[in-house]
Amino acid sequence: MVYSHLWEGAILPTWFAEDVVGSVGTLFSSVTVLLCLLPAIDALRRQYARQTADSDPKIVAVQGAGGFLTRADFDLGAIVGRGAFAFVQLATRKGCPGHAPLALKISPKREVIRLRRVEHVQNERRILTEITHPFIISLVSTFQDETHIFMLMEYADGGDLRSLIDEEDRLSSDSAQVYSAELCLALQYLHGLQILHRDLKPENVLIDSEGCVKLADFGFAKILNASDKAWSLCGTPEYLAPEIILSRGHGKGVDWWALGILIFEMLAGYTPFCNGSPADVYKRVLAEAIDYPSHFDVAASDLIAQLLARDEVGRLGCQSDGAESVKRHMWYTRIDWEELVCGKDVSSYPMGATSNATLHQSESDSEADIPYNSSARSSSEGVFRGFQSDGAESVKRHMWYTRIDWEELVCGKDVSSYPMRATSNVTLHQSESDSEADIPYNSSARSSSDGVFRGF
């Protein structure tokens, strides 16, 4: 026998050394293949998570003409929200009057371009397409026509937190605990994906029929690596963290600061630094001590003080364990985080909102004020390319429809086995009280936005 290899002072036979080298090579090749497959495995994981999520069906989606959804496929109802350049209307799939409505966000392309919100709209679509969480609003599908872009989302029929605070003057400690705990879980999920929301405020916190929060409006959201910082001055003055105001660069800490402001507002009925002009608000944010109302308990005041630490390094939620440090705070002693994240026993916590919310709509909010004039064409073809998505197929794949057998449904079989819910008694709150001037749905003006909205 020939010996030619030495290992740790021992003489090894040639055949043994060759076997070892061969095994190492095989292992290295297997690891390489596994690393190459990781992106595909992650994509399958995301798809499986969406398909297996527990949820009840809301509407029946039927393939639109030509395989794509259009505005003509829906009956539009009351306007339930307005923003700087968009408005939200109730939308029910034509031919399905007995099913609950969705929310259709309509944005005029010309206004989006004029207000330089193209990137914001693109980011919102991209992020909402990739995330699924029980306390974050779900995007069902997107589509467009020549003058407008449309985002079809689930409808939270309990109104928004702004309307609730205004109606109640201030919320009970129990309600504020539950709402803020659900938002904490939503932020923990987003931050785990390196997503900053950057616009947490009552207008962007919707309430569903079960009394749970739905974080909405991802126009200012940003995907940011853990080691990077964002520099944009964005958000609402009363909720801006000091590092945004001072242009020092910011990260996930801005969301925890905004949560502290929101908790204070829920308990007090007003924000801690409210004062006239934005410049005055910024001065108070940077220098003024917080004046806590006498009815605040010690635990709530301590949590708010830690969330509103002006130094981001010492701010609660900004440490290495992130949201866990917030969840461990004594103010949340009564919260069962596992039950909360699974959507269990939420009804056991007293809530300030119910599914019997009343409709708050002024006469000027009627559909007639926003005419859908499809006769006028714009030159924005290609601007929102990709926003059409895959039409009704994206609706059919949504987690709401996990239990639907589409082949049986389209053949008219077993439809009676799916419980229907009438919507004639649905009542609403109007959201987004920070609306600006009315934005009529008027497509008569043409835009020169070719290529700007590519990806829609």
Instruction: Please give the pLDDT value at position 373.
Output: 41
**pLDDT tens-digit readout, 411-433:** 554 444 444 333 333 333 333 33
Task: Indicate which residues carry an active-site annotation.
Answer: 199
Question: In this model, does residue 6 exceed pLDDT 50?
Answer: no
Summary mean pLDDT of the chain? 76
The CA-atom distances, in angstroms, between 50 and each of 47, 93, 139, 386 are 5, 22, 12, 21
Residue with tokens 């090749």: 29
**pLDDT tens-digit readout, 335-346:** 999 888 775 444
Question: In this model, does residue 359 exceed pLDDT 70?
Answer: no
Q: Using an 8 Å Cβ cutoff, are 274 and 281 in contact?
A: yes
Report how far residue 113's alpha carbon sits from residue 447's, in angstroms, rounded to the nearest whole number.
9
Q: pLDDT-based confidence at 8, cuts 50/70/90?
A: very low
Q: Using an 8 Å Cβ cutoff, are 203 and 165 in contact?
A: no
**pLDDT tens-digit readout, 236-262:** 999 999 999 999 999 999 999 999 999
Report how far residue 82's alpha carbon sits from residue 430's, in angstroms, rounded to the nearest whole number.
9
Collect all residues with Cβ–Cβ distance below 8 Å to 26 and sequence separation of at least 6: none
How far from each other are the two terminal CA atoms of the chain, in whole angstroms?
71
**Residue-wise DSSP of 202-242:** GGGEEE-TTS-EEE---TT-EE--TT--B----S-GGG--H
Q: pLDDT-based confidence at 389, cuts 50/70/90?
A: low
Report how far residue 329's alpha carbon sits from residue 370's, in angstroms, rounded to the nearest whole number.
47
Instruction: Please give the pLDDT value at position 449.
Output: 57
pTM for the full predicted model: 0.68
The CA-atom distances, in angstroms, between 88 and each of 62, 82, 145, 293, 431 are 22, 6, 16, 36, 9
Report how far residue 383's alpha carbon sits from residue 378's, in angstroms, rounded to the nearest whole number.
11
Instruction: Please give the pLDDT value at position 391.
Output: 53
Question: In this model, does residue 273 exceed pLDDT 60?
Answer: yes
**pLDDT tens-digit readout, 168-213:** 999 999 999 999 999 999 999 999 999 999 999 999 999 999 999 9
Single-letter code of the amino acid located at 351: M
Instruction: Please give the pLDDT value at position 225.
Output: 85
Instruction: Please give the pLDDT value at position 413.
Output: 45
Instruction: Please give the pLDDT value at position 96.
Output: 79
**pLDDT tens-digit readout, 222-235:** 998 878 899 998 89
Report how far residue 310's alpha carbon sits from residue 194's, in angstroms, rounded to the nearest whole number.
22
Instruction: Please give the pLDDT value at position 289.
Output: 94
Residue with tokens 């207000």: 115
Q: Using an 8 Å Cβ cutoff, are 331 and 300 in contact?
A: yes
SS3 content of the chain, % helix, strand, coil (to 5): 40, 15, 50
Higher pLDDT, 29 or 394: 29
Q: pLDDT-based confidence at 22, cuts 50/70/90?
A: low
Question: In this model, does residue 30 exceed pLDDT 60?
Answer: yes
Higher pLDDT, 266 or 430: 266
Report how far residue 354's alpha carbon sits from residue 167's, in angstroms, rounded to the nearest whole number.
13
Question: In this model, does residue 387 exceed pLDDT 90?
Answer: no
Instruction: Please give the pLDDT value at position 300.
Output: 97
Helix (H, G, I), strand (E, B) or coil at 149: strand
